């Protein structure tokens, strides 16, 4: 009985840790997406020189948070970007790199949960 209670408390802690890391990554990636668009909008010549692509417009932070939440939790964003564009036609290299990193974070957190 004592071992069962210990196992349940350990699983509960792991669930809380999982939720903490998910929320942390959702907010962290939202900030990263937002800052990458702010940088490219503020310094378009430098972004072009560094071959980072371009962004159409900067939306409010909640759009980036929503995009990050949907990407982190379901990977079902349907290709719609915070600026209203489509993922296939985006010219933003930082956005594409951040999305790949976010997808890897999903795999890592899921693998860590089952260890």
Q: What pTM value is reported for the model?
A: 0.75
Residue 6 maps to a domain: no
d(CA 111, CA 63): 28
* 79: Cβ contacts below 8 Å, ≥ 6 apart: 86, 87, 88
Residue 11 maps to a domain: no
Give the residue numbers spanning the domain of 107. Answer: 17-113
Residue 4 maps to a domain: no
Note the pLDDT tens digit of each residue in 4-35: 455 556 677 777 888 888 889 889 989 998 99
Q: Report which of 78, 58, 76, 69 is spatially closest to residue 28, judged by C-alpha positions.
A: 69
pLDDT confidence of 82, banded at 50, 70, 90? low
Please tell me the total count of domains within the chain: 1
Q: What is the dihedral angle through the alpha carbons of 52, 57, 61, 66, rounded to the nearest 10 degrees?
A: -80
Residue 1 maps to a domain: no
């Amino acid at each position: 009985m004592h071992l069962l209670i210990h196992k349940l408390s350990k699983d509960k802690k792991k669930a809380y840790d999982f939720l903490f890391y998910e929320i942390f990554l959702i907010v962290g990636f939202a900030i990263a997406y937002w800052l990458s668009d702010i940088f490219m909008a503020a310094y378009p010549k430098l972004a072009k020189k560094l071959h980072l692509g371009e962004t159409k417009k900067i939306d409010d932070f909640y759009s980036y948070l929503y995009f990050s939440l949907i990407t982190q939790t379901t990977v079902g964003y349907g290709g719609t970007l915070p600026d209203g564009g489509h993922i296939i036609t985006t010219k933003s290299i930082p956005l594409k790199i951040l999305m790949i990193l976010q997808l890897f974070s999903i795999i890592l957190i899921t693998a860590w949960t089952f260890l």
